[in-house]
Structure 1
Amino acid sequence: MAFTELLAQTCTVVERTKVAGGGYGRSGYSEVLVPDVPCLMQADLRGREIKVGAEVKIAGFILYLDNRALTEQDQIEQDGQRYGVLQVQDAGGQGHHLEVLLERVRM
């Protein structure tokens, strides 16, 4: 069975780029939506701790997808929920696929 056959779900990758002029002197983000990306999302029952700057966040979800350009600045949308990318790992070891740790984002 090929890896892509295991990706039984789809999600939207929200590619976020920081831009000036978010209002009141703050920066904001421009977003480009990449819909219908094959993926597999599962609850991460281990609740891994991820250090993000000075904060420690708990990953509640794990996402598997083909190797693609994805950063911790991006977000994922699936079934009306949005998730922040905490960590992107090359899970196959040779650019085969990504293992992405996520947290739910309030919209």
Structure 2
Amino acid sequence: MVAAGFGNVLVSRLIHRAHGEAGWFLYAPSCALVEADRSRPGTAEHIAALPGITFLDLDLPAALAVAREATWADAHAKYAAQPIPDRPDGAVVATADPQKWKGHPVRVLDVNP
């Protein structure tokens, strides 16, 4: 999310595609939104103003998953990437730090230039 505020071209394309193409979704876990705003103030408002982004609430199943992990943002993203009936293949975690996700059961998209 912080990369979106830095003018990352790949992230901008993902946002544009989610807004303009049917069947393309870009999810923003609430906990990741909070952490992004803490590291770069104003990020939450910027992301919230973008079209095509679906914000994921910290509902009870997500909260239980988050409670087992060290960081809320990573835990909520990992939980959001797991398969569910609407996303049987799960979701991909777009990240500027792909090494952080080694060993985790998620697919990763490196958004570094």
Query: Which category of TM-score, normalised to the shorter sequence, fits these structures?
Result: under 0.3
Greater Rg over alpha carbons, structure: 1
TM-score, structure 1 as length reference: 0.24
TM-score, structure 2 as length reference: 0.24
